[in-house]
Amino acid sequence: MLIHLRLHITNHKLIILPHEKAPYHRNAHFSFFIFQCAAQTDLVSVGGEGAGAGGSMGFSLGQVFYTEDNGSGVSSSQGVQQGEDYGLMWVGTTSTNWSVGSNWSKGVVPNTSDSAIITAYPANQPHITTDVLSPTEIDNINVRNGASLTVDAGNALTVYEQLYNDGTMLIKANASDIGSLLTEGNINGNGSFQMEQYLQGSGAPGAPNGLFFYTGSPVTDATASTYNIASGNKLWSAVEATTSYSQITNGGTTLDPMTGYAVRMGANGVVTFSGSAYNTGNQTANNITRTGTTDSDRGYNLMSNPYPSTVSWDDAVKNNLDVTMWYRTHQGTTMLYDTYNATTHIGTNNNLNGAINGDIPPTQAFWVRVPTDGLTGALSFSDAMRSHKGWSSIYKLAAEEGTIRMTVSNGNLSDENIIVFNSEAQNDIEDFDSRKFWAAATVPQLYTTVGTDSLVINGLESVATNPIVDLGVKLPSQGDYTFTATEITLTEDVWLEDRLLNVFQNLNQDATYNFTEEAGNTPLRFALHFGMSITDVSNLDSFQAQVYSVADEVNIILSEATNGTATIYDMAGRIIATQNIQSDRTNFRVNTATGIYLVKLETDKGTSTHRIILN
């Protein structure tokens, strides 16, 4: 049978294709002809596979025949790129942009049912430039020896069947974004698999003094040398058993894909993870520990997203772990924590870019907690939990129903606390709650309390069962501070009570409240009231309580006789003494150290809190 071929010579490449109108069979083999081209084409007397002219060779649709100029007006090192019959060869005629049809052997961009073949011969090597909302999708990719494929920062590639790499795969990052790769099939080949992460840094060489970043490896066999620790950058792993960090000084130390690491860099720039494959398939961390019975920080372990794509904390399989994860974030140069709860699907906004959600970006580390003594935790991810998301997608900007978000600020730094009402929540500690991960002592911090646990996210059943919630603050110094209700999605009004000044403020009408307070922990001065009407406030105002101290004696004078209890707290919230109230006047002595104390009155007529000094 006579076969018609199309021949196209450009840039020392001879493309051999069946003629558009010629009948062909996709598995057909053709005779191998000797081609003699003019000198300017640099192609002469090409034979079969081996020495000499003649012989036979199989050609498939879309294959490209390559030659290289040997400098003598002729060419050498010819070869036929083998691949799928329906494969498209990258020729890079126009640019490096994958999405331009003229860069491909058939003049069209590969689609989801195609296979792409990339060789080292084109000077323009391909870059993926489609963003995470419209990623490049393809069935198979074959990156040949000496070739490269790059996913640019903020862009995304999905490979449904096989990614075969004998060359270089690179996923790039910059100061604002990072690339993404999803692989639903196998990853094979002997090439280099690389992914960048951009890290901020400062300080003299060998003495970094900037922010700490919490990071992890998306590739197999990456080592600590990724961070160039030989030049003085610092790298640590977290040790749960001692609630401390262990510095890694050996650049040959292999980075475990499920383990998070803390790094401090001496200058801004990218680091490049390099290994024998991208992590894919099921990834599991067993033996997540909780050591001892006394350390208040026991059970916290630093883990990492193991993939070169986003992975879901909501979908992760968590055994003997809290549903909460914590990120290390920052405001300016001050380190804080953001918290996300997978039951409420609510996260804090201490980073000030938006409330975090359950999408963990590539190369991002995070904290998990084993909540129960004597148990060992496990965490598992799978490819079904992965997705393409940019850095901005980790922030959830939509309002959540039934919540109030409160912040406390000193004008430079702030901290957020969230109360969420859900009919499935309980009023004691459970999965709707997230414990407070305390920041440095220089940060003003806000919390609520259930039992002995300080919470950053407090899930409660209803306003009816929890009409009053105490709001605690831990302050770094004496000074002026501001409460702000940044979001209220309740149908009921929310009132802030300042028990020290006997002030009530409707936060729905005025979301900001300024106050002055001493340094330290103040658990009971402030409270939130839900569903309280202005009549309730008036009734409280009509019942007057005067509390004062003389030396170690507490004196209570009420506007009318009533029954109740007086409780004395120190500024750390510990109960020092209690006293029954049975009339309009009560006095009693308290044997305690000289200092400032709070007196909480709970009577038939109402509740109020007062500040006194005992000596």
pLDDT tens for residues 553-599?
Answer: 898 888 888 899 999 988 767 889 999 998 888 989 999 998 888 88
**pLDDT band at 394; cut points 50, 70, 90:** low
**Token code pair at residue 124:** 């323009």
Q: Which residue has the higher pLDDT, 402 or 609?
A: 402
Give the residue among 545, 547, 541, 546 at the shortest CA–CA distance from 568.
547
Residue range 409-424: mean pLDDT, rounded: 95
Q: Is the pLDDT of residue 405 over 90?
A: yes
Q: What percent of the chain has pLDDT over 90?
A: 67
> For residue 47, what pLDDT is reported?
29
Q: Mean pLDDT across the chain, nearest whole number? A: 85
**pLDDT band at 393; cut points 50, 70, 90:** low
Lowest mean pLDDT among 263-267, 270-274, 374-378, 595-599: 595-599
* pTM for this prediction: 0.78
Do residues 276 and 381 touch, judged by C-beta distance below 8 A?
A: no
Query: Using one digit for the tens of pLDDT, what is the confidence trace for 155-204?
Result: 999 999 999 999 999 999 999 999 999 999 999 999 999 999 999 999 97
> For residue 78, what pLDDT is reported?
34
**pLDDT band at 31; cut points 50, 70, 90:** very low
Beta strands in 115-184 (DSSP E): 115-118, 127-128, 136-143, 148-151, 156-165, 168-171, 180-183
Query: Using one digit for the tens of pLDDT, what is the confidence trace for 42-101?
Result: 222 222 333 333 334 444 444 444 444 444 444 333 334 443 344 799 999 999 999 999
What dihedral angle (degrees, nearest 10) is formed by the CA atoms of 275, 278, 282, 284? 40
Phi, psi of 124 (to 5 degrees): -85, 110
Give the residue among 502, 482, 538, 513 at the shortest CA–CA distance from 611.
502
Q: Is the pLDDT of residue 20 over 70?
A: no
> For residue 596, what pLDDT is reported?
81
Neighbour tally for 32: CB within 10 Å? 18
